[in-house]
Every structure is written in structure tokens, then in C-alpha cells.
Chains A and B, each alone.
Chain A
């Protein structure tokens, strides 16, 4: 018998994402991280005094804190080589026609303006450190929905609201890269959905990092007030360079009483990116946070969206997929804190490792003494497509009430021979059967996305199967 040919899954097709624009007339702050650099960013952004002070305090915390000793190595990331602020030579506009041609062309190729016309209630587009486009549909704005860039919110009508919430959920002391974010953050979106308002079509922010050796540190702050509903989509990409890029964004979500927020992400950073991102939601009584997360890009990723269920009956759902290919070490997962009675969490993740890629699912479910009658169910499945790759599962549970119902299950393995045999017995070729099984493995995440994004995700994965026997 000839040697068995391995199932072959194509790498993500990156040609669209690898478009590089020449830097023209951009402002680049000097490399490294010093108080002077942080002060210069503050000055460039016209920070109010409290924010300027907050940045410097965060820098001090950053310098005090240790690099994590538990995750993938980030030795290749040297902050002395990172440019923390790169401003394109343009101003934010609400018209695509006013966006510089090369930048507009990039977003056109990424499909953002088209998606806005077809299926979005508003779009924010960030290019390097600053927003270049931000717009929200009139009928949505007329409902009182605020969707603007963070800097406008910080200095405008919503300044007090921003100050009340900014990095309160993810304080700079949370970890070293949260502190870094506090020091050099720039760009991002602010969303406020008033009580009872349902935004029936999604808002989307897209973050594009074009500059080699740069960092992107956008801050997303979303407040969904009592009884309101919002679906927010976040996309991100960058062309590949031979130097390290860094993404240390921060997402803070406040979900009010009986409100619901769905936060969907398709992360497709280039494979020179260190993605050290922090996302967290605080959910009040009867509220719901739904995370849908697809992680495809980055060289190294630390990404664990966290849900703090703070009110009775609050609920969190997390659906995630991670695809780790050659040269990637993607450490992803989620954290949930049950801090009130009758709270529920459902976690469902899939990961695929191939070509020497490393995928780690990491989670924590903490049920505090105050969370009687709470429920949590965690399911994680990992698929290994070859024996060069690695897949680890590290789920933690800390339960401190008697009256809880906690379930956890995890599976790891390869494509099931029995499943292939079954499909073949129904007349499907072995090659098609394997392709179908791998596609189906990812399908439960794509079905949670709006159609356009599910298609994008499927394009991203482009599972091309070759060979007959795995």
C-alpha cells in the first residue's frame, strides 16, 4: 500500500490583505516608549488633562509589570523597535470621497464601503493610529444612537460618559499590555445605544495597520443601555512585513439591564503581528453578551474576551474558532465571572492546527459565592491536521457556591475515519468527505455570523482538500 497522503488544507489566502501602501507624508512618532513619547501622543491628540495624566500613570504601571510567564513567547517583540503612533496625512471624514485615494482603495478591496451600503448601520475605518472615516446612518442616529470615534467622544458631548467608563473595566493594572494600551491608545470607536433602542442592522469598525514596525492601540467603548440591542462587528487586517507589528487594543462593553450586545470579530492580522488584545464585557441584570470570534491571523495571539455577569439572570455566550497555520502560535479562549444569581454562560470553541501551527484554548469559569443557581457549559474541540502541529486545551474552573450546575467537555483528535467511512457509504468520494468534515467543523461558528461575514470567513479559511486518505 502506498504511503497515505495527508489531508491538505490550504493556508488562508492573504493576497487581499497583503496590499501595502507607500507611506506618504505620514507622521511617525519616534520608536520606543518613554514619558516624552507618551506626552507627545497626548499633545497630538489634544487630550484633556486627566487623560494626559492617565497615560503617564499607565506607562509607569507598564514599566512595573512583568511580561506574562504563562503564554506563547513574545521575545520577538521589542518595544524599543515599535512605533506607537502613526498618523496618516488626512482627517476623519464621513464621506469616502474625502478619504485619500490609496487608503480608500485599500478599504474598497477589503469590501468595507460595499458592506456599509448593503448591510451596515454605520462604519468606522481606522488606518494605522487614526480613524479616516466614520459614519452612521441618519435613521440610526435619529434614534439617539451615538457612533463616533473615541477622540471626538472624549472631547465632546459625551466626555463625562467616556471618563466614567474609560479603562474602568480593563484597568491598566490588569496586565502589562493593558497598561501599554492606557499609555499610548489612539483611535477606536465609541457607541452609545439609548434605553429601549434596537439597532437592527450591525455597526462595524475596521482596523487596518499599514505601517511596518508600528503598533495599533485602538480603544472601543460600547454602552448598550437598558433594554437596548446592538450587533457590533470588528474586523482587522494588515499586510505582512519582516519586522514585528503590535496590536494591543482594548474593548470595553457595558451591557445594561435586559440589554443585549452581540460582538463579532474576524481577526486576520498578518503573520508578523503580536496580537495582545483585551476585551471585556460587564453585563447587568437580565442582560446578554454574545461573542463571536474568529482568529486566523497573527504570529502570536493572546486573546480571551471576558464576560463579567454582574446582575441576576445575566448571560454570556462565546462562540469561537481559531485556525493556526505555519509560524503561528495562537493562544485564545475566554473568561467568565459569574458574580450574581441565576447567571448562565455557554462556551463553544473549535480550533484547527496545521503545518506546525500551535493552537491553545485557554479559559476560566469563575462562579462566585454570590452566584447561586448559576449554570455554565463549556465545550471545546480541537482538530489536528498533521503531526507537526500542536494543540493544547487549558480550561480552569473555580466554583464557590453549592447551588451551581457546571459542565465541561473537551475533545481533541484528528478527522474521524468512521465519519469518512459513513459519508463514503453514501456515495461521496473520500476527498470530498474529508473536505466536508473539516468545513463542517468550522461551520458552527460561521453560521453565527451575518451572511456576508460568514462568506468572508469561508474565503479566509479556503479549505482546499487534497488527497484521499488522512
Chain B
């Protein structure tokens, strides 16, 4: 088996000037991981499905494109990973989340994959918690595929609480049939180098995607993202929001694409990024695309990048806060706004604990 692997990931669906270095990301000489374990809390109404072949995915998931792209599947294959497949039956609502805890130790070198099929009119929450001790280093990769049948709802929650020496690859591919609804909530709070892809194909009429991502990147950390919403069905909807804070020497690249295919009449896509820069040594790159081959659509994107609004600063300073406190408060507010969308109290508490604010949520609620 090859011990090193070269990858091209997070390709923009439409290229731009190469000198910007945003078209894709090259990862060279990535160490090939081994298939890693995950602690699973399986709710009653979720069933596991046998992985039938030698490939990472069963046939019905293999064709779902992902944000990071084909090279991620190549890495899984090289690592000998076979995805764990889960399913929720038709007309079934599972109130308890499917909990997938990925806990890594120093020098971990692991890869994993999970596939979830939500049958017609079913509903499920999947929580993936990627965690390690704060000072650990290592490399991990997790790929997630979702297939939402007609009227199904999946809420995918991902919490990244990795050590400051970790390289993490997190890839999502989802397919939504008619009136299916996918919600993605992501909190990127730790790790050194994070590569994140998320591609959702809104194939069925009136299917929808809502994605909320919050991040804090500090030190010499790197966050490299690629979000794509492909509108194929009529009256499909996407909302992608990303917001975060960059400190120290952090680097962040946000690629976000709304891709209206011909025939997606009545589709609406919205995309927004809001970034706070807390150091003069950060690098913030943003490239929000709208690709449009259909007349009867509405696409919007917006971005605000930089410092806080002067009037807001003045207001908060007049309330006795200094600038450092204000920026810290605003940084946490960005995370809290997304954290509040997590329905599971235990997961919210883990987030607060990682941020060094254990118990604050309970106090606030009291």
C-alpha cells in the first residue's frame, strides 16, 4: 500500500485566475491513514446496513458527489475504509440523535466514513463530534454521505474540538429528493489545518438546504472550505451562511457556490459570509460564486469582512468595555449564534467547555 498520497480537493466549480490560488487546494504527501473507530450511540429507530462490497460506499451512495471531491474517496480507498451505513425507515421520526463520537489521541492517523439514508418522510438528527485533547497532534479524515428521500429531513451537526496540532479533513456529500430538507450546523473550533467540503445536490422539487457554519481560527491555523449547493429541481432553496473570527496568523479560504442548473425554475439561493479579522497577520480569502443557467431563479450573495462597525464599537465602549473585550465578545457571539441551533444540550455543553466557558450556558438559562 502507498504510504503517501497526493490530493487535489475543494475545487471551485468554475475556475478563476490561478494567481489567486483559490481554484483548488493541493495536499501533497498526505500520510495514508488506517480505518479508525467511532463510538456510536444508536437510537432505537435507526438501523445499520451492511456494507456490501469492497469499496468505501454501497452503490447507492457512491454516486453522490462531495465537496472535497473524488480524491477524498481515493484516500478512503487507500486507507481501506468501509463506510458505516445507517438508515431510518419511512414515515419515522427519531427524536434521539445518532451520536458519532470520534475521539483522537496523540499522533492519530485515522480515516472514517458514514452514510445515512433517510427514507421517505423520515426525520433524524446526526451529531458528529470530532475531539482530541487540546495539545494533541495527528491527522484524521471523515467522509459523510447523506441520501434524503422524498420529504425526509436530516439535521447534521458537526463539532470540531481538535488539538492545535491536528490536520482534519471533513467531507460531506448529500442528495435531496423531492421536498427533502437538509440542515447542516458546523462549529469549527479547534485543529491546526482543516479542510472542509460540503456539496448538496437539490435534485427533487422543493428540496432545501440550510447550512450554518461558525469558526474560530487562530495561531497559524488554516481553514479551507468548499460549499456547493446544486439546484437541479424546481423551487429548490439553499441558504448557506458562514461566519467566524480569524486571529494571530490564521488563514481562511471560503469557497461558496450556488449552482442553478437549467430547469431549476423558481429556485432561490442565498449565501452570506461575515468574517471578523482580529489581527493584521491573518489572511482571509472569500470567493462566493453564483452560476446560473436558468432564467427563473433568484440568487443572492453577500460578504462583510474586516473590522467591527464604528458605531457599534462606540456604543459598546460607551458601556465601559475596552476594544479587546468587545472583539472577544463578538467572536463568541458568532459561535453562540450557531451553537444555539444545536438541539442537544450535552453537545452544546461540550462546545462551551472547549471554549473554556463551562457552565455559562446553564447560568444564562437560570
Q: Looking at the complex, which one of B286, B294, B300 makes contact with A384 (CB distance below 8 Å)? A: B294
Interface residues of A, count at CB 8 A: 37
Q: Using Cβ atoms and an 8 Å threshold, which residues of chain B touch A405? A: 306-307
Q: Mark B1-38, 1 if CB is under 8 A from A, else 0.
A: 00000000000001111101011000000000000000
Per the bound structure, the CA–CA distance linking A398 and B19 in Å amounts to 11
Main secondary structure, interface of A, reads: strand
CB distance from B253 to the nearest CB of A (A): 9
Say yes or no: is A390 at the interface (Cβ < 8 Å to chain B).
yes
Say yes or no: is B49 at the interface (Cβ < 8 Å to chain A).
no
Say yes or no: is B328 at the interface (Cβ < 8 Å to chain A).
no
Q: Which of A25-33, A254-262, A407-415 contacts B (4 or more CB under 8 A)?
A: A407-415
Whether the Cβ atoms of A392 and B306 lie closer than 8 Å is no
Q: Using Cβ atoms and an 8 Å threshold, which residues of chain B touch A391? A: 292
Q: Mark A216-239, 1 if CB is under 8 A from B, else 0.
A: 000000000000000000000000
Say yes or no: is A60 at the interface (Cβ < 8 Å to chain B).
no
Whether the Cβ atoms of B283 and A402 lie closer than 8 Å is no
Nearest opposing residue in chain B for A411, CB measure? B300
Say yes or no: is A78 at the interface (Cβ < 8 Å to chain B).
no
Q: Using Cβ atoms and an 8 Å threshold, which residues of chain B touch A399? A: 275, 277, 283-286, 305-306
Per the bound structure, the CA–CA distance linking A372 and B275 in Å amounts to 16
A402-B277, A409-B302 are known contacts. Are A385 and B295 too (CB-CB below 8 A)? Answer: yes
Q: Using Cβ atoms and an 8 Å threshold, which residues of chain A touch B278? A: 402
Q: Looking at the complex, which one of A364, A404, A409 makes contact with B301 (CB distance below 8 Å)? A: A409
Say yes or no: is A288 at the interface (Cβ < 8 Å to chain B).
no
Q: Using Cβ atoms and an 8 Å threshold, which residues of chain B touch A387? A: 262, 265, 293-296
Whether the Cβ atoms of B292 and A398 lie closer than 8 Å is no
Say yes or no: is B59 at the interface (Cβ < 8 Å to chain A).
no
Say yes or no: is B46 at the interface (Cβ < 8 Å to chain A).
no
Say yes or no: is B297 at the interface (Cβ < 8 Å to chain A).
yes
Per the bound structure, the CA–CA distance linking A392 and B297 in Å amounts to 13
CB distance from B271 to the nearest CB of A (A): 9
A393-B289, A397-B287, A398-B283 are known contacts. Are A406 and B306 too (CB-CB below 8 A)? Answer: yes
Q: Using Cβ atoms and an 8 Å threshold, which residues of chain B touch A396? A: 16-17, 20, 22, 285-287
Q: Specify which of A403, A407, A410 lies most central, judged by the most chain B CB atoms within 10 Å of its CB.
A: A410
Nearest opposing residue in chain A for B15, CB measure? A70
A392-B14, A400-B283, A411-B300 are known contacts. Are A406 and B305 too (CB-CB below 8 A)? Answer: yes
A395-B287, A396-B287 are known contacts. Are A70 and B16 too (CB-CB below 8 A)? Answer: yes
Whether the Cβ atoms of B18 and A412 lie closer than 8 Å is no
Say yes or no: is A53 at the interface (Cβ < 8 Å to chain B).
no
Per the bound structure, the CA–CA distance linking A396 and B18 in Å amounts to 12
Say yes or no: is A57 at the interface (Cβ < 8 Å to chain B).
no
CB distance from B228 to the nearest CB of A (A): 14
Say yes or no: is A401 at the interface (Cβ < 8 Å to chain B).
yes
Can you list 14 A-B contacts with CB-CB less than 8 angstroms, sorted by A residue number? A369-B280, A387-B294, A393-B290, A396-B17, A396-B285, A397-B285, A401-B277, A408-B288, A408-B304, A410-B299, A411-B300, A412-B300, A413-B297, A414-B296
Contacts A407-B305, A410-B299 known; list 8 others, CB within 8 Å.
A364-B16, A395-B288, A397-B303, A399-B284, A399-B286, A399-B306, A410-B301, A412-B299
Residues of chain B touching chain A, judged by Cβ–Cβ distance below 8 Å, are: 14-18, 20, 22-23, 260, 262, 265, 275, 277-307
By Cβ-Cβ distance, the 5 closest A-B pairs, closest first, are A70-B15, A406-B305, A404-B306, A384-B295, A412-B299
